[in-house]
């Protein structure tokens, strides 16, 4: 199992790959993951996995778009024609790959999969994937208005609603709505994984399973 000591080493290592602002964000995502793991009763083994995923999730964020494409080409990472027009998602794909390459002794498949979907999300996520996605959105150092709003709504729901699964379904759906609205306003491409995630979690709320 992953130990605190492994996390300490990882924290030192990632500072080589992240700028100072991104490092602050990354450490804040880890802290938010700890808080969320507590709320949702994640077992110790998965809580440690979630913290590793948090520390590594933006490891390739510094790459330019060209570097992202080159990394994909050199490492046989598949992307669709459509994805060429969603540049923000590349760091999730390359990050998942690099996490395995550099830290494969602690970053297992479950961790890498969570990193891979931390930007778009996807339908039917496991709790580690959900909590990394959510922590990345609502960690308190983020001051983008959607993040601030979503964070406030999430903690208000946690305080008022007892059904944790319903809270997750609602907050995930709300986050996808905000993301999709922003993309439409900016005339940007919506990644199909985000659309299918939104449809999956809204169906859960509407009980149309
Ligand atoms: Fe990211
Ligand atoms: Fe991030």
Which of these, 9, 11, 42, 14, lies nearest to 134 by C-alpha position? 42
List average pLDDT for each run of 10 residues in the chain, which is 209 residues long: 96 95 98 98 98 98 96 98 94 98 97 98 98 98 95 95 91 98 97 98 85
Residue 162: what pLDDT?
74
Which of these, 150, 148, 136, lies nearest to 22 by C-alpha position? 136
Ligand 2 center–CA 207 separation, angstroms: 31
Ligand 2 center–CA 20 separation, angstroms: 13
Contacts of residue 45, Cβ cutoff 8 Å, sequence gap at least 6: 1, 2
Residue 161: what pLDDT?
74
Residue 209: what pLDDT?
55
Ligand 1 center–CA 79 separation, angstroms: 17
Ligand 2 center–CA 146 separation, angstroms: 14
C-beta atoms surrounding 181 within 10 Å:
11
Ligand 2 center–CA 58 separation, angstroms: 5
| Cα–Cα distance, 138 to 67 (Å, whole number) | 28
Query: Which letter does DSSP use for residue 189 in this model?
Result: P
């Amino acid at each position: 199992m992953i130990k605190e000591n492994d996390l300490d080493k990882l924290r030192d290592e990632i500072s080589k790959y992240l700028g100072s602002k991104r490092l602050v964000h990354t450490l804040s995502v880890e802290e938010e993951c700890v808080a969320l793991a507590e709320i949702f009763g994640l077992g110790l083994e998965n809580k440690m996995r979630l913290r590793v995923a948090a520390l590594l999730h933006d490891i390739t964020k510094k790459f330019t778009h060209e570097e992202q494409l080159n990394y994909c080409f050199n490492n046989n990472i598949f992307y669709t024609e459509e994805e060429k027009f969603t540049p923000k998602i590349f760091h999730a794909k390359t990050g998942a790959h690099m996490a395995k390459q550099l830290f494969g002794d602690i970053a297992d498949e479950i961790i890498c999969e969570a990193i891979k979907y931390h930007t778009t999300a996807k339908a039917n996520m496991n709790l580690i994937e959900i909590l990394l996605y959510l922590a990345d959105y609502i960690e308190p150092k983020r001051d983008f208005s959607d993040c601030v709003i979503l964070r406030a709504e999430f903690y208000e729901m946690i305080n008022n609603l007892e059904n944790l699964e319903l809270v997750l379904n609602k907050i995930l759906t709300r986050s996808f709505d905000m993301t999709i609205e922003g993309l439409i306003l900016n005339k940007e491409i919506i990644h199909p994984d985000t659309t299918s995630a939104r449809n999956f979690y809204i169906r859960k709320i509407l009980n149309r399973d």
